[in-house]
Chain A
Amino acid sequence: MIVLRTPGDISLRLHPRALAVGLTCALLTLAVGVLALGSGDYPMSAADVLRTLAGDGTPAEEFIVHELRLPRLATAIAVGAALALAGAVFQTLVRNPLGSPDLLGFTQGAATGALVVVVVGGTSTMLSGAAAVSGFATGLLVYVIAWRRGVHGYRLVLAGIGVAAILTGINGWLLTRAPLMDAARAVLWLTGSLDGRGWIHALPVLIALALLGPVVLAGAGPALRLMEMGDDSANALGVPVERLRLALLGAAVLLVSLASAAAGPVNFVALTAPHLARRLTRAPGPNLLPSALLGALLLVVADEIAQRAVPGHQLPVGVVTGLIGGGYLIWLLAAERRAGRL
Chain B
Amino acid sequence: MLSSPAPAIRTNSEPTLSVTHSPPSAAQAVSAHPTRRGRTATRASGLAAAVLLLAVVAVLSIAVGAKALPLADVWPALLDPGADEYTVVHQMRLPRTLLGLLAGAALGVAGAVMQALTRNPLADPGLLGINAGASAAVATGTALVGVAGLNGQIWFALIGAAAVTAAGYVVGGGRGATPARLALAGAALNATLYSYVSAIMLLDTASLERLRFWTVGSLASAELAIVGTMAPFIAAGLLLALAVARPLNALALGDDTARALGARPALIRAAVIAAVTLLCGAATAACGPIVFVGLLVPHLVRALTGPDLRWLLPYCAVLAPVLLLGADVLGRILSRPGELQVGMVTAVLGGPLFLWLVLRGRVGQP
B-binding residues in A (CB < 8 A): 91-92, 95-99, 102-103, 145-146, 148, 152-155, 157-159, 161-166, 168-170, 172-173, 175-176, 180, 183-184, 187-188, 190-191, 228-231, 267-268, 275, 278-279, 282, 284, 315-316, 318-319, 322-323, 325-326, 329-330, 332-337, 339-342
Stretch at the interface among B56-64, B173-181, B230-238: B173-181
A-binding residues in B (CB < 8 A): 1-7, 9, 11, 126-127, 167, 170-172, 174, 176-177, 180-181, 183-185, 187-189, 191-192, 194-196, 198-199, 201-203, 205, 208-209, 212-213, 215-217, 291-292, 340-341, 343-344, 346-348, 350-352, 354-355, 358-359, 363-366
Classify the secondary structure of A's interface with B.
Answer: helix
Contact between B185 and A169 (Cβ–Cβ < 8 Å)? no
Contact between B202 and A162 (Cβ–Cβ < 8 Å)? no
Contact between B348 and A169 (Cβ–Cβ < 8 Å)? yes
A243→B323 CA distance, assembly (Å) = 42
Shortest Cβ distance from A175 into B: residue: B212
Contact between B347 and A166 (Cβ–Cβ < 8 Å)? yes
Q: Which of B5, B167, B188, B198 contacts A187 (CB 8 A)?
A: B198
Contact between A284 and B364 (Cβ–Cβ < 8 Å)? no
Given A169-B343, A191-B195, A159-B355 contact (CB < 8 Å): yes
Q: Which of B3, B187, B201, B343 contacts A97 (CB 8 A)?
A: B3
Provide a sorted-by-A list of 25 A–B residue pairs whose CB atoms are within 8 angstroms: A92-B4, A96-B9, A103-B187, A152-B366, A154-B9, A154-B11, A157-B180, A158-B180, A163-B351, A164-B187, A170-B344, A172-B215, A172-B341, A173-B343, A180-B208, A183-B208, A275-B2, A319-B202, A322-B192, A326-B191, A326-B192, A326-B196, A337-B170, A337-B174, A341-B3
A332→B2 CA distance, assembly (Å) = 9
Contact between A183 and B212 (Cβ–Cβ < 8 Å)? yes
Residues of A within 8 A of B3 (CB): 97, 336, 339, 341
Shortest Cβ distance from A332 into B: residue: B2
Given A155-B359, A165-B291, A341-B3, A333-B202 contact (CB < 8 Å): no
Given A152-B366, A275-B2, A318-B195, A188-B208 contact (CB < 8 Å): no
Residues of B within 8 A of A154 (CB): 9, 11, 180, 364
Contact between A158 and B358 (Cβ–Cβ < 8 Å)? yes
Given A97-B3, A175-B212, A228-B4, A159-B187 contact (CB < 8 Å): no
Contact between B347 and A316 (Cβ–Cβ < 8 Å)? no
Given A91-B4, A97-B3, A165-B354, A180-B205 contact (CB < 8 Å): yes
Residues of A within 8 A of B359 (CB): 145-146, 148, 155, 158-159
Given A165-B291, A172-B341, A316-B202, A96-B4 contact (CB < 8 Å): yes
Shortest Cβ distance from A158 into B: residue: B358
Classify the secondary structure of B's interface with A.
Answer: helix
A282→B2 CA distance, assembly (Å) = 10
Contact between A103 and B172 (Cβ–Cβ < 8 Å)? no
Q: Which of A165, A229, A282, A329 contacts B1 (CB 8 A)?
A: A282
Residues of B within 8 A of A163 (CB): 351, 355
Q: Chain B nearest CB: distance from A333 CB in Å? A: 4
Residues of A within 8 A of B291 (CB): 165, 168-169
A248→B247 CA distance, assembly (Å) = 49
Residues of B within 8 A of A337 (CB): 170-172, 174
Residues of B within 8 A of A322 (CB): 192, 195-196, 199
Shortest Cβ distance from B184 into A: residue: A98
Shortest Cβ distance from A98 into B: residue: B184
A173→B216 CA distance, assembly (Å) = 6
Contact between B212 and A326 (Cβ–Cβ < 8 Å)? no
A337→B172 CA distance, assembly (Å) = 7
Shortest Cβ distance from A320 into B: residue: B199
Contact between A187 and B202 (Cβ–Cβ < 8 Å)? yes
A327→B346 CA distance, assembly (Å) = 30
Contact between A229 and B5 (Cβ–Cβ < 8 Å)? yes
Residues of B within 8 A of A323 (CB): 196, 199
A121→B13 CA distance, assembly (Å) = 49
Residues of A within 8 A of B194 (CB): 168
Q: Chain A nearest CB: distance from B343 CB in Å? A: 6
A13→B196 CA distance, assembly (Å) = 42
Shortest Cβ distance from B290 into A: residue: A169
A284→B1 CA distance, assembly (Å) = 7
* A103-B184, A155-B363 given; 20 more Cβ-contact pairs under 8 Å: A97-B2, A154-B9, A158-B180, A158-B359, A159-B355, A165-B126, A165-B350, A166-B347, A168-B291, A172-B215, A172-B343, A175-B216, A176-B212, A180-B205, A183-B208, A187-B201, A191-B202, A322-B196, A326-B191, A334-B171
Shortest Cβ distance from B363 into A: residue: A155
Q: Chain A nearest CB: distance from B252 CB in Å? A: 22
Given A99-B184, A329-B192, A176-B341 contact (CB < 8 Å): yes
Q: Chain A nearest CB: distance from B59 CB in Å? A: 26
Q: Chain A nearest CB: distance from B46 CB in Å? A: 29
Contact between B171 and A162 (Cβ–Cβ < 8 Å)? no
A339→B174 CA distance, assembly (Å) = 13
Contact between A267 and B358 (Cβ–Cβ < 8 Å)? no
Contact between A172 and B209 (Cβ–Cβ < 8 Å)? no
